[in-house]
Chains A and B, each alone.
Chain A
């Protein structure tokens, strides 16, 4: 199975900050990497697919990059509604696997 290691597991930041979350795959997954945002009590919402493609309707402040084994999600200027949990997922091969999540907290 492909292991997805996401870091950090939690991050304290302020409104307006630029933050980066990292996801590393245990083997190459090409660009088959998705990023999700999950608010409490809600389903995960797709932000970025194919490593760098912004899902329709997602604010342009979110961006993704990487290929192979190393990927990043960047939020250019944190808004109050962004302080929730983020997950990466590889869709290269089953079993599809997820990172353990990054919880963004207000400093």
Chain B
């Protein structure tokens, strides 16, 4: 069974930094591309970032480009999102999602709140 467990969400002040982690199990993590997707409370879903299975292909949404860094450690079956220069509008639930072809599995999410 695919399991994705996010952690690291917290209350942080504007301009601050936070690192999210996602622990994966139950599938071949090293051969799967991974994504971060966020959801603003009460609103819709926004894709944030993608990383290929080998970690060399990376894409970001324009809204986070230059501020967020996605990375992975295939030896530890883990995905990360380093979030810098956080803004109020980054407040959201952050989900990690594995993509095996068109088949996506999602974690339960971790809440990030940016507020002074």
Contact = CB atoms under 8 A, between A and B. Distances in A.
A87 B62 CA distance: 22
Contacts of B47: 94-98
A43 B45 contact: no
Contact of B44 (A42, A95, A100): A100
A43 B22 CA distance: 14
Contact of A87 (B44, B50, B61, B108): B44
A91 B103 CA distance: 10
Contacts of B61: 95
B46 interface: yes
Nearest to B45: A98
Nearest to A1: B62
Interface residues of A, number: 22
Contact of A89 (B45, B59, B105): B45
Interface in B68-116: 95, 99, 101-109
Contacts of A96: 35, 37, 47, 50
Interface of A: 31-32, 34, 42-46, 49-50, 53, 55, 87, 89, 91, 94-98, 100-101
23 contacts: A31-B102, A34-B104, A42-B108, A43-B107, A44-B45, A45-B106, A46-B103, A49-B103, A49-B104, A50-B101, A50-B102, A53-B102, A55-B103, A89-B45, A91-B99, A94-B50, A94-B59, A95-B59, A96-B37, A96-B47, A98-B44, A98-B47, A101-B44
